[in-house]
């Protein structure tokens, strides 16, 4: 089983959109385990105070409540995610182009969305 470290934008999309291939995910990508960095959980909690993001943030927090949370610290969440994957292995799930490029430059695979389908981008 591969740990997939999720960033905030990926989780919000996963929790609030209809993902077309969610039921076939393990067939398409293999056995994965979505993991939530505590920095991402903290960011979602902060978004709950933003009128424009409150509903999405609450839905996402509810969605992730049974997923494993891991301690990842750092001043900049993207760098912390990349450092974690470099040290412990796994993949990064993101929609952030800059983060995708950083992770790819280290040889890490990326899970992202395209047309509301989860895809492996390596």
- Listed by start position, the domains of the chain span 2-121
pLDDT value of position 107: 83
For the domain covering 2-121, report its CATH number: 3.40.50.1010
Q: Is the pLDDT of residue 62 over 90?
A: yes
The CA-CA-CA angle for residues 94, 100, 103, to 5°, reads: 110
In angstroms, the CA 18 to CA 116 distance is 7
* 104-117 tens-digit pLDDT: 888 888 999 988 88
Asked whether the predicted pLDDT for residue 33 surpasses 80, the reply is yes
Q: What is the pLDDT of residues 78-103, one digit of tens each?
A: 888 888 888 888 899 999 999 999 88
pLDDT at 121: 82
What pTM does this model have?
0.87
Q: Give every CB contact of residue 75 below 8 A, 6+ residues apart in sequence.
A: none
């Amino acid at each position: 089983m591969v740990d997939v470290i999720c960033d905030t934008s990926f989780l919000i999309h996963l929790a609030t959109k209809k993902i077309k291939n969610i039921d076939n995910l393990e067939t398409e990508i293999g056995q994965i385990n979505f993991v939530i960095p505590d920095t991402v959980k903290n960011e979602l909690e902060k978004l709950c105070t933003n009128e424009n993001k409150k509903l999405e943030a609450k839905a996402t927090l509810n969605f992730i409540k049974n997923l494993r949370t891991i301690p990842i610290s750092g001043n900049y969440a993207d760098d912390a995610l990349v450092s974690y994957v470099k040290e412990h292995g796994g993949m990064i799930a993101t929609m952030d182009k800059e983060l995708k490029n950083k992770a790819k430059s280290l040889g890490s695979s990326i899970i992202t969305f395209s047309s509301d389908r989860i895809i492996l981008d390596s």
